[in-house]
Structure 1
Amino acid sequence: MARLLFILVPLAVAFWVFSIVDCAMQPPMRHRGVSKAAWMLIVILLPVIGGILWFIVGRGRASTVAPVRAPDDDPAFLRGLGTPSEQDERIRRLEEELAQLDAEDDDPRWHRPSAPGTPGDNDGDDLRGQRGSLS
């Protein structure tokens, strides 16, 4: 009988310590029934029975926690891609305004002729922008 106690007592203590550590390390959302602090008290005050209750009743399954998904794996995100959003509409309007501004820049009516000798005058300049080059 004493030999059996020498085996069962260390196993019970190891199970008790493992139960305490497991209960403490689980995030609060994985604790079922009562709060995390209450489960800690149950496991500590009722060494073997508290550990058994923790593993049967209190510990939530890993599948109950929603996995974090990348946006391209999230069906809700992918469903939202097919519909034009306000941001897409705003980008389209800004692109149209930019195209109109570019068209105004290309229109010769909008360019003012520069006087000879002003920085906008390119007469006598070479390709490097230097005046009076001898090449």
Structure 2
Amino acid sequence: MLRYLPFLLVLALWIYAFIDCLNTPEEEVRGLPKVVWVIIILLFGEVLVGPIAWLAAGKRRHAPAGGSTPSEWHRNHRAPFVAPDDNPEFLQSLKEENKKDETLLKDWEADLRRREEELKRREREQGKD
């Protein structure tokens, strides 16, 4: 199994670079047109030159706005945690669900009463015949 590992790693890198190149918008591609990068990745994928060249030089890497690292940005722009029982939107959605359930239950009860009355009426009519 270990003798196949280098082949699998090369294949995985080749597939990743190919899909990454295809999914990258044209305006984020550096140096060469996107079609040329795809051809380079496909032709030189076995020796890792194509995929490594794409990952190193083919795609623009954007720094987060403000010069902060991604983890700093997420730390600074994180929404404060609100427990469900303190969240007004969640509580409102529960009230709406309860109203829907109550309406449905009332409709079922009314339908059941109507059916029971209809059955009693039929029984009375059959008893008279």
Larger relative contact order (CA 8 Å, sep ≥ 6): 2
Instruction: Tell me the TM-score normalised to structure 1 length.
Output: 0.43
Instruction: Tell me the TM-score normalised to structure 2 length.
Output: 0.45
